[in-house]
Chains A and B, each alone.
Chain A
Amino acid sequence: MKNILLIVLTVFMVVPALQAQKSYDQFEVQVDGLGCPFCAYGLEKKFKEFKGIKKVKIDIETGDFSFAYPTEKALTIESVEKQVVKAGYTPVTGRVVRFDGTVEAMKTAPKKETAVKAKNLITKTAFVAGNCAMCEARIVKATTDLMGVTTASWNKDTKMLEVSFDKKATTLDAIEKAVADAGHDTKNHKAHSDTYDGLPGCCAYERVEY
């Protein structure tokens, strides 16, 4: 009897410890087309086909979709992209942070661009408040969605957005406004508080004082 109790006790102590050691990769994808909460259900349901998926989070307002997946299964970001398409939605940006810290980004389809004359193409930087990788995806998307913008990158450490655009098609002020509309304060434009309040918890950056 004592032995049985000992075995049961050991199992109860060892199994959770082993589970705790299981490593997960963290996937983050920006999904377009989630026009209703039912759409989000369709997306989650399709991803339930990936056995072992955990911590599924969908923000229908921003299209931010994240989940954790066992590292041992080596799920690729391309497979995730294809699964979003199979669910009937459009993957925009995405990345996976592997358990060992390496980051792999989704190769996004090149935007249809009208020809930009080299003399019109300029590169500028602007301060944009934000915190994390989801902020980065949102800021870059809000920027590159604008007509005339060719490339954009945002550094979460310096909070600086570097953007190249056709000066005949748009302005830095218009870009800052688009970013603010997406929920991120810039030096010249403040995000609406409703939009800011709707950001995921990890994106709750310190508001800019004006």
Chain B
Amino acid sequence: MKYIFLVVVLFAFAKANAQGPPITADKPIMLGGGSFTAKTLTEIRDTERGTSVYVPIMLHYLPTSNSLFAVHIPYINYDFNDGTSGSALADIKVLGKYQFYRKDATGKTFRVIAKTFQSIPTGDKVDLLGQSTGFYEGYYGIVSGYETLKYGISTELGYNWSPEATVDEFRGKFGVGLPLLKPQYPNKQVNLYFEYTSSLFTDRDWYQLLYAQGIQYAGKNITFDLAVQLPLIQNLPETRELNYSVFLGTRYTF
């Protein structure tokens, strides 16, 4: 924890010039109508209950400069301490975004979007939150972001509704992105991310505050991402506590 704090302080004062898209948080910037982005963000999640490896293949399409439609097809492998294990298709997700506010200035922009995630119950009923519950879930949120050439800030506030399961959740996210190299185009950047996720599971009265430290290499239209997520606060049964998550991802826009 002490080291995380040191890293935060160190890079808060580092000279920074530009950044790319966040890793575990979301962004409100859409890159031009008619474009596609293929992504993956593998999550290796280690909890007191066991380990899961979640591998989604994501295809994002922007019909216009202010709307997005996406499909996430995930594969999951899980191995719990009680002996339960398996490899299967997880819950397929359909994502929609609509940007309803934009304020631009030279080298900076502020945007706000409405966002929905619909989880289709195609996964095993293994209660892996956000990955494979085997129940329908609908997430509705607002994402805002202020991007400048010196830093990027993103926030998200939303609610996950699960009529058949007990995973209703108030979710809040806050992320800061800092680049380490001088801004240039074509893009060649190394970016650092400091991202917080706050989750209140209302049905279960569980609460988690997670911190993710991420690093990203961003080329002209491709990124490679790595993040480690650790719990800061956990108010849930000991057997369900998170030890850590590791995220490995890449995205390619075409």
Question: A interface vs B, CB < 8 Å?
Answer: 30, 32-43, 45-46, 49, 58-63, 85-90, 92, 141
Contacts and interface: CB of A to CB of B under 8 A. Distances in A.
Given A33-B104, A62-B106, A85-B65, A42 B32 contact: yes
A41 B147 CA distance: 15
B29 A35 contact: yes
B183 to A, nearest CB: 5
Given A34-B109, A37-B218, 11 more contacts: A33-B108, A34-B107, A35-B107, A35-B146, A36-B20, A36-B147, A60-B18, A88-B66, A88-B99, A89-B104, A141-B106
Interface string B99-142: 10010111111000000000000000000000000000000000
A141 B20 CA distance: 27
B116 to A, nearest CB: 20
A141 B106 CA distance: 10
A189 to B, nearest CB: 18
Contact of A42 (B35, B105, B218): B35
6 contacts: A35-B108, A36-B147, A37-B184, A37-B186, A45-B253, A63-B106
B104 A32 contact: yes
A134 to B, nearest CB: 13
Given A32-B104, A88-B30, A88-B66, A37 B148 contact: no
A106 B106 CA distance: 18
Nearest to B181: A37
Interface residues of B, number: 37
Nearest to B183: A60
B189 A37 contact: yes
Highest count of chain B CB atoms <10 Å: which of A30, A35, A61: A35
B251 to A, nearest CB: 10
A63 B33 contact: no
A34 B105 CA distance: 8
Contact of A46 (B18, B32, B147, B148): B32
A199 to B, nearest CB: 13
B117 to A, nearest CB: 22
B65 A87 contact: yes
B31 A88 contact: yes
Contacts of B65: 85-88
Contacts of A32: 104-106, 109
Contacts of A36: 18-20, 29, 147, 149, 152
B187 A37 contact: yes
Nearest to A88: B65
A45 B185 contact: no
